[in-house]
Each structure stands twice: as structure tokens, then as C-alpha cells.
Amino acid sequence: MNQMLSDSPPANAATDPTVALDQPPPTVEPARFVKPQRVAFVQSCWHRDIVAESRIAFLAEIAARGISPAQVDLFEVPGAFEIPLHVQLLAKTRRYTAIVAAGLVVDGGIYRHDFVAGTVINALMDVQLRTEVPVFSAVLTPQQFHEHATHFDFFRKHFAIKGVEVAEACADTLHALERLRGQVAAGMV
């Protein structure tokens, strides 16, 4: 059984020659959720000013997709390495329909940053698979990061983009899971 929505996309000039080219595109309401959604957003404090951009963008985009920022609980942890345990404890509460993790892992010269990043991502995936609570990552590991204004500005903008992307993935996944669970409950799958 296909999870795709059966609704046809709205007609536009590219798909229907009877639609005038000068008409504005139709306003699309965000798809409504069947059940209330509650999301946890776990953010590391290391480079807080940069990582916060993902949270700000996430909250704006998730609101546009039908989940009020009041339904998003924010949590901070010291660094990215501490994110997975926090995410696991939150997932085990069964209070959240999704959890988002955000952090910046940079090469501090003490240990390999790629090891830390890989460990964090693998642990987040493990939590997701064991608890069946979707976990989304905006934990980023740049190849190069230097403590100067150019890099700070670049990564602030990049984290804002990632905040939007993770909100899109979160909302789309929650809708897909609602459809799938409905199909399972109806004996269709």
C-alpha cells in the first residue's frame, strides 16, 4: 500500500493550459495532524550563538507546517557528545512524537571531531530505532572552522538553513507515520 496522498496536485500553468499564467499560485494550508504533536528540541551549548540559529529557524518553519512553537520543548546540553543520552531519556518518556538534535562539532585539537560526530549520529539513530520515536539531526561537523567573523557568519546562515530543513523533515515524517499507523490500525498494511 502506498503512503502517498491520493489528492491530485493543484492545477497550474505547467500542468493545465486553461490556467492563466498571471494567476498567483494557490495558497496551500499546511496538512493538519490527526493527533496533537509534541516535539523536543535538544541543543548543545558549545557555540550556542551559532547553533541557536537552527532552533530559531526550526520554530518558524515548524509553525508554518502546523505545529505550534508552544508544542516544542527546548532542552540544552553542554556539548554534542551529551545529546544522545538526553535524547534517549526524552524518547523513553513517550511524551514526544519527535525529537530534534542540534549541535556543532568542531576540531578542538584534543580528539578527532569526526569521531565525536560519528558517535553522536550513530547513537541518535540507535535511539530512534530502539524507541520508534523519530530523531532528527542538525548536528553538523564542518571540515574547517576557525574562530573568526567570516566563519561565524557563514555557519549562522548555514544553521538557519538546516533548521528549516530539519523542520520540513520532521513535519513530513510525522505526517507519514500518522498515515502508516492509520493504515496498520485499519489492517491495510
Torsion of CA 89, 94, 95, 100, to 10 degrees: 60
Q: Where are the alpha helices (DSSP H) in the chain?
A: 48-64, 83-92, 113-131, 149-185
- Helices (H) and strands (E) counted in the chain, each on its own, are 4, 4
Q: Is there a catalytic annotation at residue 130? A: no
The whole-angstrom separation of Cα 14 and Cα 54 is 34
CA proximity to 45, closest of 82, 11, 3, 92: 82
Measure CA 189 to chain center: 27
The distance in angstroms from the start CA to the end CA of the chain is: 7
| CB neighbour class for 16 (10 Å; exposed up to 12, middle 13-18, buried from 19) | exposed
For the record, the C-alpha cell of 186 comes out as 485499519
CB 116 within 8 A of CB 105: yes
Catalytic site residue from 95, 112, 130, 181:
112
What residues are annotated to the active site? 112
